[in-house]
Amino acid sequence: MPKITLGQRHKISKFCGWTNIHESPFTDRVIGRPSRAGCHESLPKYPNDLNACKEFEQVCQKKGLDGFYIQYLIKFRKLEAYYEDDVLDAAEAAAFATAEQRCQAVLKVIEGLEDENE
């Protein structure tokens, strides 16, 4: 599975409502404005931080996209055979997913939304 790029982190952040994403002129960090606050913060390092992944998982749930997200997560974890036999439920499929697998899944959801808007 390829590593998550900075551009993909930008996509995930925008999906979560971040705005004004850019490189800081004062540090080597990428910053932006999260939807929950008015000041700039460092962009989350989603591929390395399960806590940060909760942000986009909540957005998926609010937008009714959590079913698609879980389907992609099952695919990236290579669990289709187990899921088809009803051995796994959605919670079990997500329970042991890495942050990077979660990022790959949400990027597929975002890609699907972009395709719909074209």
Residue ranges of the domains in the chain? Answer: 6-117
pLDDT < 50 stretches in the chain: none
pLDDT of residue 79: 60
> Tell me, what's the pLDDT at 40?
77
Q: Report the pLDDT value the prediction gives residue 41, as an integer from 0 to 100.
A: 82
pLDDT of residue 50: 93
pLDDT tens digits for range 86-103: 555 666 667 788 899 999
In this prediction the pTM is: 0.82
Inter-residue long-range contacts of 59-62, CB under 8 Å, 24+ positions, other chains counted: 59/15, 59/16, 59/17, 60/106, 60/109
**What is the β-pairing status of strands 19-23 and 41-42?**
unpaired
